Structure 1
Amino acid sequence: MSAPKGPRGPYAKTPRVRQQILEAALAVFAESGYRATTMKEIAERAGISQRGLVHHFGSKEALLLGVLELREAESGILAASAGTDAISAIIRIIEDNYTRPGLIELHSTLAAEAVSPEHPAHDHYVQRYRDFRAYLTSAFEVALGPSDGDGPLTAAQMAATVIALLDGLQLQWLYDRESVDLEAIVRRVILTFAPAALPDDADVKATR
């Protein structure tokens, strides 16, 4: 009996084409924002026809959610590689973002656009910030211990502060990548308020 053959025809390259489309969409969304982007622009960037694009993603909304899901999955893999150390996971994601500035551009654009409840990414960002705060709050609760109300920040406040710091610094970094060392600043802030949350070598890295 002959060996089974792989998929043929237009579906043979579907995973690769979908990845190609998502990468093109990420780039165009980052440059123009969601609302100003057209499916035609994305198809041209991906090097396929609009018909081919619609075959894989039936609408611009579906494409945007596909891009967001892809990034969340990638971030999940990076976070998992740090085990239970949530702060190290954040640092790894920052390091990865440095190599892919389009991701930072996309997040900075969408986080502002999606404040409107009518935006297709609104629910995604509402849940994303809730989950991110909960994730960091748990990490800081372990590092800071029980709060007696006398500390500078509670674990929940520290979590919200770090997220605000990340968003603001990423925006500044997009404008001036030479002057803003996002990772070093985040490490220094965490070292100041919750030193136990950082790995043992953080005091060295935070001063670089």
Structure 2
Amino acid sequence: MSSTAPSVRGPYAKTARVRRRILDACTEVFAETGYRATTMKEIAERAGISEGGLAHHFASKSELLTAVLERREEEAAGQLAGARGLAALLAMVDIVKDDSRKPGIVELHSTLAAEAISSEHPAHEHYKHRYHSVRRYAELAFEALQREGELVSSLAPFELASAYVALSDGLQLQWLYEPDAIDVDQTLRRFLASVVARLSD
């Protein structure tokens, strides 16, 4: 008897593959044209299915947006799970580094984060919560470093967290314009080295 579980086959596997293809296509189109300007027809064409087939899996554009954002957050949460202190801050850098291999994700995030400032945008609450959560995650990491006597900055942990998140997002936006001129990963690591004692040695 095989010691490995059999792979999922049949209609369930096919449905999962189609959903992944739809979400991949949706991510690309949202990144290129923004959420508001994107149509279900464009997404269906990019995914290689009919509009009816798209509606079978996702009833609306806002439902698609929610699925795209949830998938990205689940991926990021897996990379951050269990990390504390400096390890948590470096894990955030690793996520940004991974994103550099997927420019569509960076472009989507940058586009949606700007669009979602409007309280009427379907992603408004998502991004409001995301920024609060990411800042809090970084703040806890900087607080842990402060307790360990590792911080060498006049800024408070909350201020460092806000600056760190702003630096990350701002560098990624600049990287989209000039990928050869901006090294997001290296700049974030050098920022951490400027405020964390053990990295400045």
1:94 and 1:152 map into 2 onto residues whose CA distance is: 26
Q: 1:151 to 1:180 in 2, by over 3 A?
A: closer
Q: Whole-Å Cα distance in 2 between the matches of residues 47 and 32 of structure 1? A: 18
Matched position secondary structure for 1:13: helix
Partner of 1:199: none
Q: Alpha-carbon deviation of 1:88?
A: 1.9
Is the contact between residue 144 and residue 194 of structure 1 (CA under 8 Å) also seen in structure 2?
no
Q: Which residue of 1 aligns with 2:46?
A: 45
Q: In the alignment, does 2:96 pair up with 1:78? A: no
* Counterparts in 2 of 1:195 and 1:28: CA distance versus 1, 3 Å: farther
Preserved contact between residue 6 and residue 12 of structure 1 (Cα < 8 Å): yes
Q: Distance in 1 between matches of 2:119 and 2:196?
A: 35
Structure 2 partner of 1:184? 186
Matched residue, 1:26:
27
CA deviation digits over 1:150-208, x for unaligned, max 9?
95210000000001001110010001111100011111111112344xxxxx569xxxx
Q: 1:98, 1:203 → 2: CA distance?
A: 25
CA contact (8 A) 1:79 1:92 kept: no
Work out the CA distance in 2 between the residues paired with 1:167 and 1:151. Answer: 21
Aligned residues: 190
Q: Which runs of 5+ in 1 are unaligned?
A: 197-201
Corresponding letter in the other structure for 1:83: A
Kindly report the root-mean-square deviation, in angstroms, between the aligned alpha carbons of the 2 structures: 2.1
Residue identity matched to 2:83: G
Taking structure 2 as the reference length, what is the TM-score of the superposition? 0.88
Change (3 A) 1:60 1:146: same
After TM superposition, give the deviation of residue 143 of structure 1 in Å: 0.9
**Structure 2, unaligned runs of 5 or more:** 1-7
Q: Deviations over 1:18-44 (max 9, x none)?
A: 000000000000000000000000000
Alpha-carbon distance in 2 for matches of 1:194, 1:159: 13
TM-score normalised by the chain length of structure 1: 0.85
> In the superposition, relative to structure 1, how do residues 12 and 87 fare at CA in structure 2: closer, same or farther (>3 Å)?
closer
Residue 152 of structure 1 aligns with an amino acid whose one-letter code is: S
**1-structure distance, mates of 2:50, 2:112:** 26
Q: Quote the residue 2:58 is aligned against.
A: 57
What is the deviation of 1:89? Answer: 1.1
Match of 2:187, SS state, is helix
